[in-house]
Amino acid sequence: MVEVYMHTNIYNNEKYIGYSKFGMQSRWLQHVNESKKNITSIKFHNAIRKNGADAFTHKVLAIVPTTEEAKQEEIKWIAFYDTFLGEGYNMTKGGDGVSLPGHLNGMYGRTHSKEAKAIFSKKAREMCISKNPNKYENLSVPARKKRDYYALKNKVYRMLRKRPSIIAKSNSTKAHKGTKNGRANQFVITSPNGNEFTINLLSGMKVFCEENKLVYNVMYKYRNNQTIPSPAKGDTKYLIDEIYKIKRDNTTGWNIQKRKING
């Protein structure tokens, strides 16, 4: 049996809803232990660390026989208590949801501070050393020199990649661009109604998609002589973004045939 549960913060009444086939109490202990490890981006763990484990009450909302039913129950209760993007700690709509796209993601338009990056780097380094202490702490002098040599070599290589030579720049200006390039592609695009369009280059396809309210990324994925299928059931963006949903539905059924322009 699978339990669908809810944890409630007694100070602000914010809730977290989840499910576990091992029971609510077992999963709660996991959440508490995970909150003690490091700074995380999980809102629920941060709340446990801030308020303490004793600041939460626990309730079993439903007990169902299968995981699939538990996922549906989780989605239902998250919507009922508005714990997703509302008064709660759930970061998805439930049912093993994925990270949120665009402005719905908590880190959208933001970056970690230098202090946070330094903490992450330190923790990762400590983890590597703890797993392989002999590899990092007890290197012989020749081994250290070899390590430093390759580190310097890689650094120089990265610098050179950022500064292409004058010869490389001059060669790039002589290269044929657009339809004059021997490797340029042409696309014959057929609509579900049978209307046929001939488009030159991927840049032309992008403009075509914008004009006809189609999803360019999907057209690009199926550009090699394929008919575009319906969206997958797990397409989260399709489920939560109405504009994307309209464009994705318009894209279904189109066929793309690729060929060389100068072939």
Q: Over the stretch 207-227, which tens digit does the pLDDT of each residue have? A: 999 999 999 988 888 888 788
CATH architecture of 2-104: 3-Layer(aba) Sandwich (3.40)
The residues near 203 (Cβ < 8 Å, ≥ 6 apart) are: none
2-40 pLDDT, tens digit each: 999 999 999 999 999 999 988 899 899 988 988 887 666
**Are the C-beta atoms of residues 32 and 53 closer than 8 Å to each other?**
yes
Whether the per-residue pLDDT at 176 is higher than 90: the answer is no
C-alpha–C-alpha distance, residues 20 and 202, integer Å: 47
228-248 pLDDT, tens digit each: 999 888 888 888 888 899 999
The residues near 164 (Cβ < 8 Å, ≥ 6 apart) are: none
Strand partners, 196: 190
User: How buried is residue 13: exposed, middle or buried, by Cβ count under 10 Å (0-12/13-18/19+)?
Assistant: exposed
E strand map for the chain: 2-9, 15-20, 56-64, 185-190, 196-200, 226-227, 255-260
CA 232 from chain centre, in angstroms, equals 16
* Average pLDDT for 109-131: 74
CATH 1.10.10 describes domain 185-260: yes
Angle between helix 24-37 and helix 43-51 axes, rounded to 10 deg: 80
Q: Shortest CA distance to 71 belongs to which of 81, 13, 79?
A: 79
Q: For 6-15, 62-71, 145-154, 209-218, which range has the lowest pLDDT when averaged over its residues?
A: 145-154
Q: Where are the domains of the chain?
A: 2-104, 114-161, 185-260
* Average pLDDT for 95-124: 69
> pLDDT-derived band of residue 118, with 50, 70 and 90 as boundaries?
confident
